[in-house]
Amino acid sequence: MRTYTKEIQAIIDNVEKVIIGKENVITQSLAALLAGGHVLLEDVPGVGKTMLVRAFSRSIGLTFKRVQFTPDLLPSDLTGVSMYNQKTSQFEYRPGPLMGNIVLADEINRTSPKTQSALLEGMAEANVTVDGEIHTLPNPFFVMATQNPIEHEGTYPLPEAQLDRFLIKVKMGYPDFQQEMKLLTRFERDEPIETLESVITRDELLRMKEEVKAVHVSQPVKKYIVQLVQATRSHASLYLGASPRSSIALMKVAQAWAYMEGRTFVLPDDVKHLLTPVLSHRLILTADARYHGQTAERILEQVKKEVAVPIQQDVESL
């Protein structure tokens, strides 16, 4: 049973009024938000991906924008357009849905690579370019994108460059019997999402994000992160291992996780816990490994067993 700070627990409890039995998904997504990253939600329809994003935006009191990605969606449908105002005889910028704090990119793999690249610019640079002018996105800016892993016809697989921009990838999974029974009772007469109120403000979230940066990462833990990442580059079942950006991502989300648990330093257990959601979508398996049923998740479990964990006293002494 994990324990979190009072503010973090308040957010978790609020989201769990709508999302039942998915604390791990909630906490990992919250860690990504605090670390300044973005989340890819990959799962079958109907398990609560959209509801999770809406619950986050309501719990933190942020503006929420939803974009339904379709094959005919244009980059300007995301970024906004410049329109001529006859009264002022000037072009004025009309913001698109990316000008929100929390953006739900629904079924992101259904749109064209050109439109995906417009989203990539916003995720990577925190701004968008419209008619040669750069427009800064609001702070915080947090993308939670969904994709359906079982439908391939009419979809455009995300390129490695865009997958690498997502800090973590999480899967919701089906609820167990008791959780689903509880879900039916909760939704029997009303929609809980409509009654959610914010438990922290935008300014409080920005303060928390700054405090995350002060969480200490000792040299042994940094070494452990690099060893884990480099182990993927030499693994026989992987055609492409994790990039140096992966090392940075793993460190930053581990800082956020330590902060959520009320610590001022990162533990090796934080790194181990977050390795799979941070790295699984960044790896490319060999054809032989895919043929034999290997998965990125299984390979990362092997890597965790093979790389030595730093001794606790060394972690705390530096």
Q: Is it the case that residue 316 has pLDDT exceeding 60?
A: no
- HSE value, Cβ hemisphere, 13 Å, CA-based, for 131: 10
As a whole number of angstroms, the distance between CA 83 and CA 103 comes to: 23
Highest mean pLDDT among 10-14, 132-136, 191-195: 10-14
Q: Which amino acid is at 37?
A: G
Q: What is the mean pLDDT of residues 54-63?
A: 89
**CA distance linking residue 190 with residue 27, whole number of Å:** 26
| 6-205 homologous superfamily | P-loop containing nucleotide triphosphate hydrolases (3.40.50.300)
Position 25 pLDDT exceeds 80: yes
Question: 100-158, pLDDT tens digit by residue?
Answer: 899 999 888 888 888 888 888 888 888 888 887 888 899 999 999 988 776 555 677 77
Confidence of residue 315 (pLDDT cuts 50, 70, 90): low
Domain 214-317 has CATH 1.10.8.80: yes
Task: Choose between 255 and 23: higher pLDDT.
Answer: 255
Distances (CA, A) of 75 to 51, 80, 103, 129, 145: 25, 8, 15, 10, 16
Give pLDDT, residue 313: 54
State residue 93's pLDDT score.
81
Model confidence at 188, pLDDT cuts 50, 70, 90, reads: confident
pLDDT at residue 176, rounded to an integer = 87
Give the list of residues 6+ apart from residue 102 with CB closer than 8 angstroms, or none.
Answer: 53, 56, 57, 60, 62, 63, 64, 65, 142, 144
Q: What is the pLDDT of residue 125?
A: 86
27: left (phi over 0), alpha (psi -120 to 50) or beta: alpha
Amino acid sitting at position 237: S
- Whole-number average pLDDT of the chain: 88
What percent of the chain is predicted at pLDDT more than 90?
50
CA 300 – CA 228 distance, rounded (Å): 9
Contact 123, 165 (CB under 8 A): yes
From the number of C-beta atoms within 10 Å of its C-beta (0-12, 13-18, 19+), residue 140 rates as middle
For the chain, give the number of residues.
318
Nearest to 170 by CA among 254, 280, 259: 280
Tokens of 255: 């800082």
**DSSP-assigned letters across all residues of the chain:** -----HHHHHHHHHHTTTS-S-HHHHHHHHHHHHTT--EEEE--TTSSHHHHHHHHHHHHT--EEEEE--TT--HHHHHEEEEEETTTTEEEEEE-TTSSSEEEEETGGGS-HHHHHHHHHHHHHSEEEETTEEEEPPSS-EEEEEE-TT--TT--PPPHHHHTT-SEEE------HHHHHHHHHHTSSS-GGGG---SS-HHHHHHHHHHHHTSB--HHHHHHHHHHHHHHHT-TTEEE---HHHHHHHHHHHHHHHHHTT-SB--HHHHHHHHHHHHGGG-EE-HHHHHTT--HHHHHHHHHHHSPPPPHHHHHH-
> Each residue of 219-242: pLDDT tens digit?
999 999 999 999 999 999 999 899
CB 172 within 8 A of CB 41: yes
User: If you search the block for the tokens 């960044």, which residue do you land on?
Assistant: 282
Which residue ranges make up each domain of the chain? 6-205, 214-317
Residue 80 pairs with which residues in a beta bridge? Answer: 95
